[in-house]
Amino acid sequence: MKTGLKKTKSGFSLIEMVIYIAIMALILIVIVNTLSVMILSQKKIKNHRVIEHSASVALERLTREIKSSKRINFDQSVFGSNPGRLVLEVENLMGESREIEFFVEDSILKFKDGDLIAPLIDLRATVGSFLLYSLSEDGAQAVRIAMTIEAGSGEFAKTETFYASALMRN
């Protein structure tokens, strides 16, 4: 007497298991590789942002102070040499004169106003070179700035050079 039930085969064969494992391994390799590329790109972008932000803040402050200054103190300033130093005579709202200074110390561009000394760049960045050039023609005085900023290390290291000029409005 037959009951009509067929014996069915259950489970996977060895070849099917090997194929499934190989497919899963390929998918895993693609995922790990993609994550690795994303992490590397993120580190490079982060260094680029640090450099761009540092340059933007530093050059904006330098040009603003140069434009509003009364005169350049040539005795204390260093032009055409790395690292440069810029000492400006500025006037406060009450008409009193004071000196402000821009200089590089420990590879960090700094700003000095009286007793206050503050960094002008992100502390994750360093200044590779800070060159200043004095320009004058027909009584007009200007300063040209060339600054190299670096961030990161090893294969993630990034270096960029920035240029700016500012004409004194005195």
pTM above 0.85, yes or no: no
In a domain, 147, yes or no: yes
Local structure of residue 65 (DSSP, 8 states): H
- Rounded to whole angstroms, the Cα distance separating 63 from 162 reads 13
In a domain, 6, yes or no: no
State the pLDDT at residue 9.
66
End-to-end CA distance of the chain: 115
Task: Report the mean per-residue pLDDT for the chain.
Answer: 88
Structural domain boundaries, residue 56:
14-167
Give the total number of structural domains in the chain. Answer: 1
Per-residue pLDDT of 51-97, as tens digits, reads 999 999 999 999 999 998 888 889 999 998 989 999 999 887 777 88
Q: How far is CA 13 from CA 9, 20, 31, 58, in A?
A: 10, 11, 27, 68
In a domain, 153, yes or no: yes
- More confident: 47 or 138: 47
In a domain, 1, yes or no: no
In a domain, 7, yes or no: no
In a domain, 98, yes or no: yes
In a domain, 159, yes or no: yes
In a domain, 84, yes or no: yes
State the pLDDT at residue 133.
94
